[in-house]
Amino acid sequence: MKEPELLPIDAAIERIDRFDAIIDARSPSEFAEDHLPGARSMPVLDDAQRARVGTLYKQQGAFEAKRIGAALVSRNIADLIDGPLADAPRHWQALVYCWRGGNRSGALATVLARIGWRISLIEGGYRAFRRRVVDDLAQWPARHRFTVLAGRTGSGKSLLLEELARQGAQVLDLEQLAQHRGSVLGHLPHAPGQPSQKRFETLLWDRLRRLDPARPILVESESRKIGQCQVPEALILAMRASPCVVVEASDAVRSTLLLREYRHFVEDPERLRERLQALHALHGAERIAGWMSLARAGDWDTFVRTLLHEHYDPAYDRSMKRNYARLEQAHHVSLEGIDDAGLSDAARRVLALTH
């Protein structure tokens, strides 16, 4: 009879893209916090069942916890085989893991292997993977060449990154990974929320492992925190030591872009008021009230330009001067418009400076 193949974490990562499925046998809440790239949640114990077994272990001992746990696991594995795995073909291959690669994933992997599928099990489970992510993120940035796309708020850096990717450049879009635009107004209204710190780091790890160290990587000039997500130390240090390209845009272009991207605040000024309260310590009630009076009057162009000149531009200029050592030697590229032609032209000029 077949038995699961036990893979050290290095071997599992080397083969991670070759499996037909990656199965996370942990509870749904563990999966939600973070999981391997491409993994599917197939818990052998849900959150309530896991808590029940843990309580039994503390109150009645290991034997009773294992007896009840085994019955629950068996029923759940049967449901998985009859449900999401019902159509898996004979030559299907899967990588299975849990927290430490022990009881939960071991039980599932054994049953699946005995059926006849080719099943591999991560030695050390998610915990081993997490250690590898942390180690790699501490080392990989020094092996890559970054070019930092700098420019004041509203200068179109995120749109340019998208256009640069379309034109074949290697791009690391940290705001997309963090699901946040990186400022006090940066929450994305249609996003489900920011990923956990662990999830953000796994997404970053997965993106970096797919990039070619021999080619430059374009990345936006982020601060250490993007919303609630912290950029790993080695990456932020590598970015801050890298050459920069500064994107410039007129106030008219910036206002048009920001009003398009932050349309949800135009539609709901009270949401805007709540977010601006975070700037109370910096600017005081009187200035914030002045901004809100422009918003409530519907004078959005003046509101945007005033907020840029009084808050965003001074803050960004101070931060860039303090943190990006090569900013003074940067080349400058003008974004003439946010239509396809304007973005395409600016992206071509950025690419010409990065080769």
Distance from the Cα of residue 287 to its chain's centroid: 34
282: number of CA atoms within 13 Å, CB side?
12
Q: Is residue 200 part of a domain?
A: yes
Residue 325 and residue 244: Cα distance in Å, rounded? 9
Distance from the Cα of residue 1 to its chain's centroid: 41
Residue 122 and residue 323: Cα distance in Å, rounded? 40
- What's the whole-number average pLDDT of the chain? 93
Residue 208 and residue 115: Cα distance in Å, rounded? 37
> Are 229 and 320 contained in the same domain?
yes
The residue among 98, 133, 168 that closes a domain is 133
Q: Is residue 302 part of a domain?
A: yes
Q: Kindly report the pTM of this predicted structure.
A: 0.92
- Looking at per-residue confidence, does 2 or 323 come out higher? 323
Query: What does the pLDDT read at residue 273?
Result: 87
The answer to whether 354 touches 149, Cβ cutoff 8 Å, is: no
Residue 112 and residue 3: Cα distance in Å, rounded? 9
Mean pLDDT of 299-311: 93
The domain that holds 89 is classified in CATH as 3.40.250.10
User: Is residue 130 helix, strand or coil?
Assistant: helix
Residue 228 and residue 99: Cα distance in Å, rounded? 25
Number of C-beta neighbours around residue 201 at 10 A: 23
The residue among 113, 133, 153 that closes a domain is 133
Query: What does the pLDDT read at residue 266?
Result: 85
171: number of CA atoms within 13 Å, CB side?
23
Lowest-pLDDT range, 78-82, 266-270, 326-330?
A: 266-270
Q: Structural domain tally of the chain?
A: 2
> Are 60 and 117 contained in the same domain?
yes
Query: For the segment 195-209, what is each residue's pLDDT rounded down to a tens digit?
Result: 999 999 999 999 999
- Show the domain range for 93: 5-133
Q: Is the pLDDT of residue 1 over 60?
A: no
Residue 289 and residue 6: Cα distance in Å, rounded? 63
> Are 115 and 159 contained in the same domain?
no
Q: Is the pLDDT of residue 105 over 70?
A: yes
> Is residue 229 flagged as an active site residue?
no
> Are 95 and 181 contained in the same domain?
no
Mean pLDDT of 311-321: 93
Residue 144 and residue 334: Cα distance in Å, rounded? 27
The domain that holds 332 is classified in CATH as 3.40.50
Q: Is residue 101 part of a domain?
A: yes
Q: Is residue 139 part of a domain?
A: no
Structure tokens that stand for 345 in this block: 């032209």
> Are 115 and 154 contained in the same domain?
no
User: Is residue 258 helix, strand or coil?
Assistant: helix
Q: Is residue 140 part of a domain?
A: no
Nearest to 9, CA basis, from 75, 114, 101, 85: 101
Q: Tell me which of 23, 94, 98, 122 is the catalytic residue.
A: 98
Q: Is the pLDDT of residue 186 over 80?
A: no
> Are 228 and 333 contained in the same domain?
yes
The answer to whether 160 touches 247, Cβ cutoff 8 Å, is: yes
The answer to whether 2 touches 114, Cβ cutoff 8 Å, is: yes
Mean pLDDT of 266-279: 85
> Are 119 and 149 contained in the same domain?
no
> Are 206 and 123 contained in the same domain?
no
Q: Is residue 138 part of a domain?
A: no
The angle that helices 62-82 and 103-115 make with each other, rounded to 10 degrees, is 40
Query: What does the pLDDT read at residue 187?
Result: 64
> Are 212 and 274 contained in the same domain?
yes
Confidence class for position 190, pLDDT limits 50, 70, 90 = low
Q: What share of the chain is helix, strand, coil (3-state, %, to 5)?
A: 55, 15, 30
Query: For the segment 111-150, what is each residue's pLDDT rounded down to a tens digit?
Result: 999 999 999 999 999 999 999 999 999 999 999 999 999 9
> Are 162 and 25 contained in the same domain?
no
Mean pLDDT of 155-182: 94
Q: Is residue 112 part of a domain?
A: yes
Q: Is residue 160 part of a domain?
A: yes
> Are 232 and 126 contained in the same domain?
no
Length of the chain: 355
> Are 172 and 218 contained in the same domain?
yes
The torsion region of residue 125 among left (phi > 0), alpha (psi -120 to 50) and beta comes to left
Nearest to 151, CA basis, from 161, 141, 166: 161
The answer to whether 217 touches 200, Cβ cutoff 8 Å, is: no
The residue among 106, 133, 160 that closes a domain is 133
